[in-house]
Structure 1
Amino acid sequence: MKKEHILWELFWTFLKIGALTFGGGLAMMPIMRKEVVEKRNWVDDEDVLKILVISESTPGVFAINSATFIGYKIAKFRGSLLATLGVIIPSFIIISVISLFIIQFKEFKLVEYAFYGIQAGVAILIFRAALKLSRKIHFSLFSILIMSASILISLFTEISVLYILLFSALLAITFGYIESLKGAKADDSRAS
């Protein structure tokens, strides 16, 4: 009985997240975090950061990737399936209905202004989520330099953010490997 309850809870939670999220994947971060970290304690902030990194560096939509990850962690395959369906269904229904009336919607200035307001609200949601999650990141001089360089390169060049992300990941892997070699040498010299 408990298994069916958790499956229903996964589906319902992600259905709510999918229905209440405007503005794409990053905009869902604060809502998802509140539901799965604060209310249900299914994952912690460290897991949310991992979801964010994996979802942003792999193909697919953030909402689907995160629902699949959390669903699998809680209830394996059936959990991932139901959480993913839960987050997809609201968007599917909303897009289907909007597609029927898109021409009529575009003509209303009120709808256009509402979307401007939603965009501003989404920017604030993303900013708040970034602030909350940044408290869990272990900053070092190296990570601050990589982050600063990445921001500057993305703002002032036409280089794709994907290439910046891949290059930053390679730099971090190389740096981590060099640091681990230094640590191993220091351990060997202490053992001698």
Structure 2
Amino acid sequence: MKKYLEMFSVFFKIGAFTIGGGYAMVPLIEAEVVDKKKWIEKDEFVDTLALAQSSPGPIAVNTAVFVGFKMDRYKGAFFTTLGAVLPSFLIILAIAMFFREIKDLEAVESAFKAIRPAVVALIATSVISLSKNSKLKGKAFIIPIAVAACVTFLKITPIIFIILAAVGGNLYMAKKGGKK
């Protein structure tokens, strides 16, 4: 039971203290799961993220599921997922109870405006970290920047880039013969 509580508490802590959604959680998950706890290797984490991104649902929850499943199959997935989801649920529940009364307060609006740059920085950290660990050495960070620019400024749907990445990844693996 101690192992399950540890898995739950690691993801609960990440879920409770990360603002900005799944991509903002990625560097914290990596620091805990790969660097501190050594539950999975760095290469395996990058592969897990690729799988989590291509699966339906939030990336942080998907990552929690995959890490938990790796640790101890279904029980592990249950406890890591519960840890990742429960803080958000409790916070949203509390906010929903009081939001109507406080939503127009200037301090609340200012707080939301102040949080935005921090979220952008956390997501940028995640992109830089993942590009460093990418098998595409060198200037791999250019790919997500170019895709973000195309989606933002040229209004190209992200689905096209997801399909291109899937086809490109499959072609790359076929060329390499399925070897890492």
Same fold per TM (> 0.5)? Answer: yes
- Aligned partner of 1:184 in structure 2 is none
Contiguous gaps of at least 5 residues in structure 2: none
Structure 1 146/24 Cα, relative in aligned 2: closer, same or farther at 3 Å? closer
Do residues 110 (structure 1) and 107 (structure 2) align? Answer: yes
Structure 1 140/60 Cα, relative in aligned 2: closer, same or farther at 3 Å? same
Q: Aligned partners of 1:172 and 1:102: how far apart in 2? A: 44
Do residues 166 (structure 1) and 163 (structure 2) align? Answer: yes
Q: Aligned partners of 1:157 and 1:82: how far apart in 2? A: 41
The one of 11, 20, 23 equivalent to 1:23 is 20
For the 8 Å contact 2:8–2:80, the answer to whether it is kept is yes
Do residues 6 (structure 1) and 3 (structure 2) align? Answer: yes
Q: How does 1:8-157 map to 2 (within 5 A)?
A: 8-139=5-136, 150-151=147-148, 153-157=150-154
Structure 1 69/152 Cα, relative in aligned 2: closer, same or farther at 3 Å? same
Structure 1 38/140 Cα, relative in aligned 2: closer, same or farther at 3 Å? closer
Query: Match for 1:87: what amino acid?
Result: A
Structure 1 173/147 Cα, relative in aligned 2: closer, same or farther at 3 Å? farther
User: SS where residue 107 of structure 1 aligns?
Assistant: coil
Aligned residues: 177
For the 8 Å contact 1:45–1:133, the answer to whether it is kept is no
Q: Aligned partners of 2:137 and 2:64: how far apart in 1? A: 30
Q: Aligned partners of 1:120 and 1:147: how far apart in 2? A: 19
Question: Would you identify which runs of 4 or more consecutive aligned residues in structure 1 move more than 6 Å?
Answer: 143-146
CA-atom RMSD in angstroms: 2.4
For the 8 Å contact 2:127–2:144, the answer to whether it is kept is no
Larger Rg: 1
Query: Match for 2:93: what amino acid?
Result: S
For the 8 Å contact 1:154–1:164, the answer to whether it is kept is no
User: TM-score when scaled to structure 1?
Assistant: 0.81
Q: Aligned partners of 2:31 and 2:98: how far apart in 1? A: 33
More helix by share: 1
Deviation at 1:116, TM superposition (A): 1.5
User: TM-score when scaled to structure 2?
Assistant: 0.86
